[in-house]
Structure 1
Amino acid sequence: MQNKTTLWEFMTNSDYRMAIFIMLGIKTLQQLSGEAAIDAYMQPIIASTGSTISEETSSIIFGIVQLPGALLAGYLVDKMGRKPLLIASATGCAIALFAEGTYFYFQDVLETDVSSISWLPTTGIAVFVFMINVGIVTLPYVLLGELFATNIKGIGVSTFTLYGASLAFLVSKFFKPLANAWGEYTVFWIFGCICVLGIIFVLTVLPETKGKSFSEIQAILKRKTTKKDDVETKDTGKPQRSPPPYTA
C-alpha cells in the first residue's frame, strides 16, 4: 500500500497488461451472455412464448433458482477451481440459450406447433439463471481480488465495474430493437455464441488460480506477458527480449 498508483499507470504499466486483458474478456463474457437483458425482459419473453406457466410464476421460479446457484458457486470454487467452474457455467448457459433460441425459431419462423414443448422457455431460462450464477456472474469478483495487488485493486475493481455496467446498459438497451429486427431467436443465439467464445477464452487465456499465492499468480501472468511480447517481437523482426530473471 506504500506504492500508491494512478489510473494512468494502471492502464499503461506492462505489469498489469495480462491481468487487464483477462478481466476484459471475463467481464465481456459476464455481460454479453445476456444476463442483464433477460433479467430486464423476463416477463415479456415468457409472455411471448405462450408458455403454460404464467410470467409471474416464472419470475418467482427464476428468483428462487439464483440462490442455490450462488451457494453452489461458493462451495465449488475451491474444489473444482476457477477455470472448470467458469467453463461449466458457460457451457450450461450456452445450451440453455441455444435451446431458447431454437424454441423461438420454431414458433416465430417455422410457425410450428410447439405446444408439446411449452415447458421449454421457462425451463431454459431457469437453467440459464442457475448456471450463470454458478460461475459467470460470481467468479469475476473472485478473479479481481486475485489478479491485482492491493495498491491497484481499488482502481481495478472500479474500472471493471464501470466497464461491466456500461456493457449491461448496452445489452439491455439494444435487446428489444435487435429482437424486433432480427427475431428473438437470433439474439438468444448471439448470447449463446458469446458463451462459446467465452469457453475458448477461459481455456486458452485464463490461468488457474486455485490454491496459488499472489506471487505465484503474478509469476504466471508475467510469463504469459513475456511470451506474448516475444511473439510480437519475432513477427516484427526486431531482437527478442529475454525474460526477466525470476526472484522469489
Structure 2
Amino acid sequence: MLIAGRVFAGIGTGAICVVGPMYIGEIAESSIRGILGAFINMFLCSGILLTCIFGSFTSWRILSIILAVMPIIFGGSFIFMPETPVYLVKKNNLGGAERSLIGFRGTNYDVQTELKDIQKEIEDSQQKSVSIKDVFTSKANRRAFMSVVAVLAFQQLCGVNAVVFYTVPIFQAAGSSLAPNVAGIVIALVQVLSSYVSILIIEKANRKFYLVLSSVGMMLFLTALGMYFHLKRLNVDISHLGFIPIGSAVMFMISFSIGYGPIPWLLMGELFAPEVKGIGSGFAITTNWSCAFLVTYFFPIINSSLGAHISFYICAAIMAIATLYVCLIVPETRGTTLLEIQKILNK
C-alpha cells in the first residue's frame, strides 16, 4: 500500500511541479512573478513541516488521512480559478483571454497591449514544431533547456535530502539530547522561515545573484559538515566544536531556501517558450526527481563504506560546479516579460 500510494503521490507531485510554475509564469506580471514563484518552495517546506509535526504523535493511518484532506481542498478550490490568458489565446478564445487578464490585473488595467504581446508570442510559437529534436536545434530552446534542467538537477544534487535524512546524527554528533522527531521539526521549521524570507527579498536582486549566493553558502556549510565528520572519523577531540554540525545544517537550509529552493521552479515557468513548455518541463521534473532518487539511494551507501564526510564533500564539490555553471550559462530573467526572455535567449 505504501508503494502504491507513493506511485500515485509521485504522479500528482510531478504534475503539480510541472503545471504549477507554468501557471504562475503565465498569469503573473513580471514585477511580482518572482514573489509568486517563491511561494511554491515555501508551501513545499510547509507541507514537510506539517508532516513532521503530525507524524510525531499520530499513526501512519491517521497521518495519511490528515494529508489526504489537502489535495481535496486544493482540487475543490482550484475549480474556481480561471484559465491562463496564454492558454486561452492558444485556443483562439480572445474574449476569454481578455476577461482572464482583467480578472488577474483588475478593471483599471489596460490589457490590450499585454494581450497583443501574448498573441504575437503564440503566433510565433505555433509556426515552430515541438519535437524533442527541435528543443535542441533552436538556440533559445537549447539555452532554456540547459539552464532549467541543470538548476533543477543541482537543486537535488546539493544534498538537501541527505542533510534532512542525516538530521538526527548531526544533532547527536553535537551532543544534543533532542528526540529525532523534534530534530526533524527544527530543520523543517528553519526551511519554512527562510523560505518566507526569500519571498520578501526575491525581487530585491537578480535571480542569478540568489542562485550564486545559495550555492556558495551551501558549498561552505557542506564543507564544514564534511570536515567535522572527517575529524570525528579520525578520532580527533572535537567535543568543543559541537556548534559546527547544528550551525552548519541550519545555515545550509537557509542558503538552500533563499536560492535553490524557489528559483529553479521559477525559471522553469519563465524560460521555456510556449511550444516546448510541456516537453521541457516534463524532462526537467524527471531529471529533478531522478537526482533526488540518486542522492537518497547512494548517500547511505557512501556513508557506510567511505564515511559521511565523503558524502558532504561530494555535494560541496557539486555546488562549486553549480556556481560556475550559473555564472556562465543561466540567463537573467528578473523584471522582464516572457517575450523579452525569449529575445534574451536568442542573443
Same fold (TM > 0.5): yes
**Residue equivalent to 1:27:** 152
**Quick one: which of 116, 123, 141 aligns to 2:247?**
123
1:84-118 per-position Cα deviation (integer Å, ceiling 9, x unaligned): 11111112111111111110011112x11111111
How many residue pairs get matched? 221
The answer to whether residue 267 in structure 2 is matched with residue 143 in structure 1 is: yes
The answer to whether residue 97 in structure 2 is matched with residue 97 in structure 1 is: no
Moved more, 187-196 or 70-79: 70-79
Alignment of 1:167-182 (within 5 A): 167-182=291-306
Is the 8 Å Cα contact of residues 224 and 248 (structure 2) preserved in structure 1? yes
Alignment of 1:1-248 (within 5 A): 1=90, 3=126, 6=130, 8-9=132-133, 11-15=135-139, 16-47=141-172, 49-54=173-178, 55-109=180-234, 111-223=235-347
**In 2 relative to 1, CA 19–133 (structure 1 residues): closer, same or farther, beyond 3 Å?**
same
1:167-191 per-position Cα deviation (integer Å, ceiling 9, x unaligned): 1001100001111222111110111
Ranges in structure 2 where 5+ consecutive residues have no aligned partner: 1-89, 91-121
CA distance in 2, matches of 1:214, 1:186: 42
Query: How much has 1:52 moved relative to structure 2?
Result: 2.5
CA distance in 2, matches of 1:205, 1:113: 43
Is the 8 Å Cα contact of residues 94 and 196 (structure 1) preserved in structure 2? yes
State the AA in 2 paired with 1:73. S
Is the 8 Å Cα contact of residues 161 and 295 (structure 2) preserved in structure 1? yes
CA distance in 2, matches of 1:59, 1:141: 24
State the AA in 2 paired with 1:30. Q
Is the 8 Å Cα contact of residues 46 and 121 (structure 1) preserved in structure 2? yes
CA distance in 1, matches of 2:317, 2:144: 24
1:57-84 per-position Cα deviation (integer Å, ceiling 9, x unaligned): 3222101111121112222221111011
TM-score (norm 1): 0.82
State the AA in 2 paired with 1:128. F
Query: How much has 1:5 moved relative to structure 2?
Result: 5.6
Is the 8 Å Cα contact of residues 89 and 136 (structure 1) preserved in structure 2? yes
CA distance in 2, matches of 1:53, 1:147: 46
**In 2 relative to 1, CA 207–107 (structure 1 residues): closer, same or farther, beyond 3 Å?**
same
**Residue equivalent to 2:79:** none
Is the 8 Å Cα contact of residues 58 and 122 (structure 1) preserved in structure 2? no
SS in 1 for 2:175: coil
**In 2 relative to 1, CA 221–40 (structure 1 residues): closer, same or farther, beyond 3 Å?**
same
CA distance in 2, matches of 1:90, 1:219: 27
Is the 8 Å Cα contact of residues 22 and 206 (structure 1) preserved in structure 2? yes
CA distance in 2, matches of 1:8, 1:202: 24
**In 2 relative to 1, CA 208–18 (structure 1 residues): closer, same or farther, beyond 3 Å?**
same
Provide the identity percentage. 29
Q: What's the C-alpha RMSD, in Å, of the aligned pairs?
A: 1.9
TM-score (norm 2): 0.60
CA distance in 2, matches of 1:75, 1:42: 27
Moved more, 87-96 or 32-41: 32-41
1:214-238 per-position Cα deviation (integer Å, ceiling 9, x unaligned): 2222122112xxxxxxxxxxxxxxx
